[in-house]
Every structure is written in C-alpha cells, then in structure tokens.
Amino acid sequence: MRNAPLSVLALGTLALSLSACTVSVRPNLSLQVQGGNLITNLRPDRGEGGTYAVGESVRLSVSTRSAGYLTLVALQSNGYASVLARNVYVNAGATTFPRAQDGQVYTVAPPRGIQRVRAIFTRVRPTTDLVVSGVFDGTRWNTVTTAYVSPYPQADRDVQETFFYIR
C-alpha cells in the first residue's frame, strides 16, 4: 500500500496533462493528410465551423511553411464542386483569399448547409490543372484530390480541409 500515493500522484499528473489536449474532428473523416503539414492553417474568417448568411462575403486564410502553388476547391452541401483558386503561387506564411490583386469576392450562395473547402498545395508548379465538374460524393472527392497530387513526392504536397455553414 506504500505505492498507492505514488500511483494516485501519477494518475493525477496524467489527468492534468490530458486536460490540455484538444481533439478536432472535421466533417471529412476519410481525408488522409497528403504531406508533411506544409499547410499549417486553413480557416474561414469567422473560424472553422463559422456561419454565414446567403449574400455575405467569406475570406479564407491559408498559411504554408514554404512557397508553392495552392488550389482551393469548394464542395457544396449538394455535392457540387467548384474551383475557387487554381495553381496560385503563394509565399511562405499567411495568404488571404480572395487576394486583393485578383479583384474577386467570395460571396456565399445557396444551397444552405455545410460548405467544405479543400486546400491543395504543391511546392512545384503543377503540370496539370485540377478539373472538377459535376456532383461529388466523399469517395469521388477524395479520389480526384489524390489523383491530382499523386505525381508529386509526399514531401512536396499537402491537402487540408476546413468548413463553414451557410444559413
């Protein structure tokens, strides 16, 4: 019984250290990170899971560890996908989309529900354009992304996803 206080102390220390952990679950549970975390941050201006009304503008912040080429693809709640930015050169650090020099605004439009945005980053200029058209389910969405980045070494590519809600 002499060891009982030591084990209680060890369990207490473990509980305190675990209380500082944060677990995030994203809606795309089947997404496998494609690289070495070259994308360090991807979020809408109201934060991941933020809510926007139809007609409001949304901005997306993307941070990368190195310079490279970024493609942003949106997947609507009805499964329709569209490219927001294609093979845009970004420096290391934070970039906000739409960029001022592009003269665009991302205006939220129906359908209402969850809007997923996937960032696809490669250190080298892609030799092909990501082509998305039609309606995608989770499997096809992942297959298209994987096929697009597969020619590049894993150390030179990354794929991350965020989401927000349209009301």
The string of pLDDT tens digits covering residues 76-123 is 999 999 999 999 999 999 999 998 888 889 999 999 999 999 999 999
Q: Is the peptide bond between 126 and the residue preceding it cis, with omega within 30 degrees of 0?
A: no
Question: What pLDDT score does 157 carry?
Answer: 94
Sheet of 93-97: strand order equals: 39-44, 60-64, 93-97
Report which secondary-structure segment, H or E, holds 146. helix 138-149
The pLDDT, as a whole number, for residue 36 is 60
At 156 the pLDDT is 94
**Does 150 score more than 70 pLDDT?**
yes
Q: Which CATH architecture has domain 30-166?
A: Sandwich (2.60)
What mean pLDDT comes out for the span 45-67? 97
Pairing of strands 39-44, 60-64: antiparallel
Non-local (6+) Cβ contacts of 22 within 8 A are none
pLDDT on residue 101: 83
Interval 1-50: pLDDT, tens: 444 443 333 333 333 333 332 333 344 433 444 446 899 999 999 999 99
Q: What is the pLDDT of residue 127?
A: 81
- Rounded CA-CA distance 162/42 in Å is 6
Domain chopping of the chain, boundaries: 30-166
Helix (H), strand (E) at residue 17: helix 4-18
pLDDT per position as a tens digit, 112-135:
999 999 999 999 998 888 877 778
